[in-house]
Amino acid sequence: MKASIRAALRHAACKPLVFALCLLPFAGLILGVVQDSLGANPAEFLIRATGDWTMRALCVVLSVSPLRVTAGVPELLRLRRMLGLFVYFYVFLHLLCYSWFDMGFEWEDIAKDIAKRPFILVGFSGFVLLTALAVTSFNAAIQRLGAKRWKQLHMAVYAVAGLAVLHFWWMRAGKHNFAEVWLYGVILGGLLAWRIWNKFRPSPKSQR
């Protein structure tokens, strides 16, 4: 079974297939706009939906290393960069929808809103961090920064995860609806806990 999974992940069609799957939510939103099926408030639906898909994509990309190690499938690393860039794609859409539908691209008002409302400030801070990770996700950036500094920089994805959960929690606080916040918090907290445990666990050689 594992051999079949590893062979499938090495197949030339794997990346295009995963790329297409990652675009399905975006295609669904576009179809909803065209068919006018996004409910009474399409703008709010799009803002919320792009935020939700950002959270889901973040959970997926942070699951790559745990799955690679625990399942013994190193080929998963071939997908991590692309999955990470899709996190940025959906968070960019989230910010775009807010800037367009909520604020009408009034940049001065957007700047004031970010400074005034904590949950937007937290969300925007996560976007800035993700931008830094996205622009340094390519081989040229790794060579320029050096592998060690590059890895240290990209550990900031866990700070992004924390900011994303806080942003979501603050947004839901007004309605006292925290079920999804807890779900994402538990998932992302568990993935961070695994990372810490894997970093500091004794190596098999040291246990001999």
Separation CA 143–CA 81 (nearest Å)? 16
pLDDT value at position 208? 38
pTM for this one? 0.94
Mean pLDDT of 10-26: 97
Question: What is the amino acid identity at position 21?
Answer: L
Residue 150 burial by Cβ neighbours in a 10 Å radius (0-12, 13-18, 19+): middle
Task: Choose the weakest-confidence range: 61-75, 135-149, 155-169, 190-204.
Answer: 190-204
Residues 119-139 as b or e (16 or more Cβ within 10 Å = b): bbbbbbbbbebbeebbebbee
pLDDT value at position 199? 84
pLDDT value at position 200? 85
Separation CA 107–CA 113 (nearest Å)? 10
Tens digit of each residue's pLDDT (9 = 90 or more) over 50-106: 999 999 999 999 999 999 999 999 999 999 999 999 999 999 999 999 999 999 999
52 compared with 203, residue with greater pLDDT: 52
Residues making up the chain, counted from first to last: 208
The string of DSSP letters for 29-85 reads HHHHHHHT-S-S-HHHHHHHHHHHHHHHHHHHHHHHHHHHHHHT-GGGHHHHHHHHH
**What share of the chain has pLDDT > 70, as a percent?**
97
